[in-house]
Amino acid sequence: MSDCLFCKIINGEIPCDKVFENEKVLAFNDIDPQAPVHILVIPKVHIESLNDINQDNCEIIKEIHLVIKKIAKDLKIDRDGYRVITNCGELGGQSVKHLHYHVLGGRNLKWPPG
């Protein structure tokens, strides 16, 4: 989508601090990190939020999870533990309307979140 921030990152219009990329998925460091590791993992296709996942596009969720697992292992946060979050909609705190998964690690994460 032309006015979507993350689509602009995908097509190179806006730079990012890339962590991983394959044909379907891009991962980059969050610009405002909330933990020593704070990476965003996004599909290269524009999907607005988890609300828009369906039988036709849900394969990407598997791909994203496999990428998250690989990143966690590569950054050595897999054993100590980490958190994966997708904020959905206004009350969920979603500010960018392109599906994304926050991967947070490297510190003791509190629960419940704010």
Q: Give the E-state strand segments of the chain in sequence order.
A: 18-21, 25-29, 37-43, 82-85, 101-105
Cα separation of 72 and 33, whole Å? 16
Distance separating alpha carbons of residues 84 and 34, to the nearest angstrom: 13
64-103 binders of ligand AMP (CB under 6 A): 87, 93-96
**Which of ligand AMP, Zn ion, none interacts with 46 (beta carbon under 5 to 8 A by kind)?**
Zn ion
CB under 5 to 8 A by kind: which of ligand AMP, Zn ion, none does 72 bind? Answer: none
Select 45 or 58, whichever has its Cβ closest to Zn ion: 45
Provide the binding-site residues for Zn ion, judged by CB under 5 A: 1, 4, 6-7, 46, 98
